[in-house]
Structure 1
């Protein structure tokens, strides 16, 4: 619904489709766009791109024929649940010279963009550690775990900040609601140069927490997406110095950073429209998506489900 709303606002919504025709008809009425079948999407030469917002296991089977039909595609995260499906999509995009953009929404958020600028400018010194917390109550799935539902968001941010893939992955979680479907997860990543990252994700937390803390050698940046716009991004300049056998910590008042308020999803859709028109890769393109997918696969291999551990 939010994707359709923003595409309509950008005068880019040509039609809507759904596997349930009644849903397509309802959306068509709500967003003043005609309903269409999947075959219509593939054969309509006037369509430049298609936005795919469906269950993750269906992404490859939808994206591949659309790419073969000459459409650019936007795919909501995760790109896929397996590397095999991800590479099928990548191969189709390459074979037909089409762009694939993956919906890592926060990469288009003004707070994260400003955070990247501050880090690149050396405002907090050398990058040391990243703490990503994404917790809430609800939207529990039984077809994919929090690893594939929530981790792609923060993993994309971490990889963008470090500029490289991790050299070490440790992953532990628990399946409290559906056996075998992890609903709480803790992931530790290690990178060259001693940089570390910790991802804390879960579906069953009573309080919503969406927070990214980036710690450097001379300060920290905190992006809290639950805060009002004038408090979303805050700079902390805390100085830690060794004094003999002890450490002295000098703290300064936190400084909220000024941001231009916007709607990240609209900015993301603008990026997709530009990619369709220009034929150039988006920020979260296929190359970026395959890097995220590879780390997700590594996390899945390393995952220890604590509810399955035998005493």
Structure 2
């Protein structure tokens, strides 16, 4: 089995999760952990004795034997770090969101494709067992024609000082929309407000319209007294509820819905009563893979490098999510626009 050497930049909030998962992969040599704060490194030096703890990431770029670099830093640093890593011939895994602008994403994609390198984005929830099950159900037609998607991702904090709640929490939901639905909306309408002196939006609501009758709605917040991670997907055959905060039965499929009469009754009274028929069937809670999402993702990254595969959440996936984030932010900043439309 081909050995892959990996270095990780950023050892603050999310970096330790990358370190833990890559250190457990048999054909991975975790060679570097880099962070600007020496105190972050010292706390874990004894746990990973074979790893080089450094504060200068350029040492990774100069190491010709290093295959890949994982970047778990604030989004404003993603572009420059990833660009340097790709130009140095390293495969790259970027934490979400991919970059601060779609133009930056496009540049990284071009460099990676020119050099034949793997460029992957850490859209963790795409690799989550329940989400992989939902994707399979949709692709198999279990829900029928999709009618709507409604998502709530709210909690108290963590307030960020570099991005608003849409770029922080909404990035997760937009990556799920992109993965599950597989097509771009026609327009986005968003409203968001800041309730602190930072003027960074901490609560936001977003609605997306598509070319057909499908509609998607998202509520994200750092200002909720309770933590909620719920998604509802309605289809013509069945409906689905995904509650990621539940310890078990995170995915529930309901044989519920409505049926419209193809030929309404002639009298007005009968038409009112019979035009819509309600269906109340059983609920099922199917089994899904319990593997940690980030473990599945890191294994996928290594597999893409070894076997020259295209990642499920590649640079193009990251670009599509960033475009949605930009449009949602534009809608908030320019409320005079009823809807911000996607460019063809």
TM-score by length of 2: 0.84
Correspondence list, 1:204-215, <5 A: 204-215=223-234
**Which position in structure 2 is the counterpart of 1:3?**
18
For the residue of structure 1 that corresponds to 2:180, the secondary structure is: helix
Residue 198 (structure 2) pairs with residue 152 (structure 1): no
| Contact 2:178 2:317 (8 Å CA) reproduced | no
Residue 267 (structure 2) pairs with residue 240 (structure 1): no
| Contact 1:234 1:255 (8 Å CA) reproduced | yes
> Which digits, 9 at most, give the CA deviation of each residue in 1:123-165, with x for residues without a partner?
1111110111111111110110011111111111112222111
Q: 5+ unaligned residues in a row in structure 2: which ranges?
A: 1-15, 261-269, 336-344
**Which position in structure 1 is the counterpart of 2:35?**
18
| Contact 1:49 1:71 (8 Å CA) reproduced | yes
**Which position in structure 1 is the counterpart of 2:292?**
263
**Which position in structure 2 is the counterpart of 1:141?**
160
Residue 43 (structure 2) pairs with residue 43 (structure 1): no
Correspondence list, 1:114-125, <5 A: 114-125=133-144
**1:305 positional shift:** 8.4
Q: How many residues align?
A: 305
Correspondence list, 1:1-311, <5 A: 1-11=16-26, 12=28, 13-32=30-49, 33-36=51-54, 37-229=56-248, 231-242=249-260, 244-246=271-273, 247-304=276-333
| Contact 1:16 1:28 (8 Å CA) reproduced | no
Say what the alpha-carbon RMSD is for the aligned residues. 1.8
| Contact 1:175 1:305 (8 Å CA) reproduced | no
For the residue of structure 1 that corresponds to 2:98, the secondary structure is: coil
| Contact 1:174 1:305 (8 Å CA) reproduced | no
TM-score by length of 1: 0.92
Q: 5+ unaligned residues in a row in structure 1: which ranges?
A: 307-311
| Contact 1:63 1:73 (8 Å CA) reproduced | yes
| Larger CA Rg, structure 1 vs 2 | 2
Inter-partner Cα distance in structure 2 for 1:121 and 1:94: 32
